[in-house]
Amino acid sequence: MIHAVSALRLAGAVAAAKAVAGATRVLRLGGGTVLPGRVARWLFPRVLEELTGALDPVVVVSGTNGKTTTARLVARALEVAGLKTVSNRAGANLQAGLVASVALASDLCGRPRAQAAVFEVDEATLPAVLPVLRPRVLVLTNLFRDQLDRYAEVERVAEGWRRAFARLGPTAVVCYNADDPQVADVARLAPAGLPFGIEDVSAGQGALEEAADVRFCYRCGVAYRYSVVFLSHAGHYACPVCGWSRPAPCVRAETVRLVGTSGAEVLLRWDGEGFVVRSGLPGLYNVYNLVASAAACRALGLPADVWRRAAESVRPAFGRGERLTWNGVALRILLVKNPAGFNEVLRLVVSEQPRSLLLAINDRTADGRDVSWLWDVDFERLQGLEAHVTVSGLRAEDMALRLKYAGWPEDRTTVERDLARALRRARDRTPAGGALFCLPTYTAMLELRRVLFRWGVVAPFWED
């Protein structure tokens, strides 16, 4: 009897989610990636557990940066392996977003029209959803400073993860970034760990960046010694006191060749096997996403070739370096969320020597309401670039001031709060056939997307 009641409530919740999603689409209220989930959870709080119970395997990806791309890579690999896979796209990575994605991919009885699932989950939400989703594989990408107004402290997120491991199933495998000392330290408590990382020291850089936040051994409180740093605090490290050091990765990038904003060539080693993958995803941060997804595939028991085919077919998503053409100008949009990511994007952008840049900084909840983090980004790196910078967004003035104190000339900076106007002005500064690089925060990226949709340059978000 109880079972029948739950089945009815589940069907009701799924139907409501579908109705709400349909309505938001018809009314053009947006992508409909969250609200349907809220309604379904309100009608039936256990909806996520019920909907995902029959899915196998379930893969969960969490961490500060790289969630979306890593999850896309793993989902593509499962599809290549012939498994119909449901996943939460568009960064709807809180509980409501997860519910919406599965509800919309289920029939009215609440049976998912898929076998497997890949979810990206917000790092602070992870402890709450692990017991519900019971993933076969959990991927932890990294822990950087991000939205301190919401998470308070990176250390608090790490503590949440430590506690969450107790609720993992006994057969679950945790794929973790061995190069991130905080993630690797957290993973010491995982039931079964599979470390991944980058071996190629020639891809490293010298000093630690300003934004690097964990450089002290969790146990000893002493600064780690690094032999190489790849990005932010990710690298090869060891504690000089207790001797704990970077775990040797099982899945690793042996050699890395970055090809500007067009992609990367990576020699990947997976157990004894080594093979070259040519990816269209640019930047060293995407090499980490590639290796992370490879580790997940190995944990799932997929053949290496399935992963390689998937990795080579995935193109950058909107806001992650997707290539667009607009009025004879190549438009490259690269999302910036936190100092670690912003520094990597700047490195990438500077290597392309663009003549025009657009920086769009908002301070809404999803961006982080505190813009202090702009001072942890190495804008000094822009020095020497022959470019004009247009700044926009709700915090355009903060961005302009940061540039001024980074030594960027005031006469090569334009402040234009309105994003549509800023985009036009930045385009006017771009030579014909040249590239305009747009670096928006999350909500500025959504706004940019709406503007470009209005102008007929891109499709609406939910058609991704």
Partner 1 sequence: MDLVLVHLFPDLLNLYGDRGNLVTLRERARRRGIHVVVKEVRLEDDLPADGDLYVLGGGEDRQQALVARALQQHAGTLRAAVAGGAVVLAVCGGYQLLGHGYRAAEGQQLPGLGLLDVTTEHPGHRARRLVGNVVARCTLPGVGSLVGFENHGGRTRLGPGVQPLARVRVGFGNNGHDGTEGAWCGTVFGTYLHGPVLPKNPRLADHLLTLALRRRHGDVRLQPLDDRWEEAAHLAAAARAGLRLRR
Exposure on the CB side of residue 340, measured as CA atoms within 13 A: 25
Q: What is the contact mask toward partner 1 in residues 357 to 376, using x (rule: CB under 8 A)?
A: ------x-----xxxxxxxx
Contact 181, 195 (CB under 8 A): no
CB of 123 to partner 1, least distance (A): 16
Q: What is the contact mask toward partner 1 in residues 413 to 442, using x (rule: CB under 8 A)?
A: --x---------------------------
CB of 147 to partner 1, least distance (A): 11
Window 109 to 168, contacts with partner 1 (CB under 8 A): 145, 148-149, 152-155
Window 374 to 393, contacts with partner 1 (CB under 8 A): 374-376
Residue of the chain from 386, 410, 411, 463 that contacts partner 1 (CB under 8 A): 410
Window 6 to 65, contacts with partner 1 (CB under 8 A): none
Task: Using the minimum distance from each CB to partner 1, give the nearer residue, 122 or 363.
Answer: 363
Match 């990816």 to its residue by tokens: 279
Residue of the chain from 49, 322, 352, 398 that contacts partner 1 (CB under 8 A): 398
Task: Using the minimum distance from each CB to partner 1, give the nearer residue, 113 or 219.
Answer: 219
Query: According to the binding rule CB under 8 A, does residue 400 interact with partner 1?
Result: yes
Distance, CA of 359 to CA of 18 (rounded, Å): 37
Window 60 to 119, contacts with partner 1 (CB under 8 A): none
Task: Using the minimum distance from each CB to partner 1, give the nearer residue, 345 or 394.
Answer: 394
Task: Using the minimum distance from each CB to partner 1, give the nearer residue, 119 or 408.
Answer: 408
Query: According to the binding rule CB under 8 A, does residue 443 interact with partner 1?
Result: no
Distance, CA of 237 to CA of 226 (rounded, Å): 4
Task: Using the minimum distance from each CB to partner 1, give the nearer residue, 148 or 189.
Answer: 148
CB of 114 to partner 1, least distance (A): 39
Cβ atoms within 10 Å, residue 242: 12
Distance, CA of 393 to CA of 187 (rounded, Å): 38
Of residues 320, 304, 318, the one with CA closest to residue 268: 304
Residue of the chain from 395, 427, 429, 449 that contacts partner 1 (CB under 8 A): 395
Cβ atoms within 10 Å, residue 29: 11
Counting every residue written for the chain, the total comes to 464
CB of 360 to partner 1, least distance (A): 14
Task: Using the minimum distance from each CB to partner 1, give the nearer residue, 315 or 404.
Answer: 404
Task: Using the minimum distance from each CB to partner 1, give the nearer residue, 221 or 272.
Answer: 221
Token reading at 142: 């990294």
Distance, CA of 165 to CA of 447 (rounded, Å): 37
Using CA atoms, how far residue 334 sits from 65, 261, 321, 337, 462, in Å, is: 13, 10, 5, 10, 19
Query: According to the binding rule CB under 8 A, does residue 405 interact with partner 1?
Result: yes
Which residues 6+ apart lie within 8 Å of 22 measured at CB?
none
Window 193 to 232, contacts with partner 1 (CB under 8 A): 210, 213, 215-216, 221, 223
Give the total of residues touching partner 1 (CB under 8 A).
34
CB of 60 to partner 1, least distance (A): 25
Q: Which range binds partner 1 by CB under 8 A, 66-74, 191-199, 326-334, 398-406?
A: 398-406
Which residues does residue 52 pair with via DSSP β-bridges, in sequence order? none
Residue of the chain from 401, 420, 425, 434 that contacts partner 1 (CB under 8 A): 401
Of residues 415, 413, 416, 423, the one with CA closest to residue 448: 423
Residue of the chain from 34, 164, 184, 396 that contacts partner 1 (CB under 8 A): 396
Task: Using the minimum distance from each CB to partner 1, give the nearer residue, 192 or 401.
Answer: 401
* 431, amino acid identity: P
Using CA atoms, how far residue 84 sits from 59, 194, 386, in Å, is: 13, 25, 48
CB of 223 to partner 1, least distance (A): 7
State yes or no: cis peptide before 431, omega within 30 of 0.
no
Task: Using the minimum distance from each CB to partner 1, give the nearer residue, 257 or 417.
Answer: 417
CB of 37 to partner 1, least distance (A): 26
CB of 339 to partner 1, least distance (A): 8
Task: Using the minimum distance from each CB to partner 1, give the nearer residue, 50 or 376.
Answer: 376
Task: Using the minimum distance from each CB to partner 1, give the nearer residue, 20 or 374.
Answer: 374
Task: Using the minimum distance from each CB to partner 1, give the nearer residue, 22 or 240.
Answer: 240
Which residues bind to partner 1, rule: CB under 8 A?
A: 145, 148-149, 152-155, 210, 213, 215-216, 221, 223, 363, 369-376, 394-398, 400-402, 404-405, 410, 415
